[in-house]
Amino acid sequence: MNAAQVVSDASVAQLIGSGAAISCLALAFFAGWRERRRARRDDPDAVGWVDWTAVQMLALIGVAVGLLLIAKGQ
């Protein structure tokens, strides 16, 4: 079974779900890295305007939704 056959056998929902899950997972890793940098900053008064913890949690919820779309696959 080659890659073209796997893609042709997958439904549109599975392909969208896998793309969303991969994108959200990358965003969650990026947000985790930025939150770690924020927590270890030298100047405690130099706060940012992005709540990276919330971004990471929303991205992980997006990963879960994407995985559910892959599992359901209709």
In a domain, 18, yes or no: yes
Each residue of 19-55: pLDDT tens digit? 999 999 999 999 999 999 988 888 888 888 899 999 9
In a domain, 23, yes or no: yes
Domain extent, residue 68, equals 11-72
Distance of CA 30 to the CA centre of its chain: 9
In a domain, 3, yes or no: no
Contact between 26 and 42 under an 8 Å Cβ cutoff? The reply is: no
In a domain, 4, yes or no: no
- Alpha carbon distances (Å) from 38 to 6, 15, 41, 46, 55: 42, 34, 5, 9, 14
In a domain, 42, yes or no: yes
Domain count, the chain: 1
In a domain, 2, yes or no: no
In a domain, 17, yes or no: yes
What pLDDT is stored for residue 15 in this prediction? 84
In a domain, 55, yes or no: yes
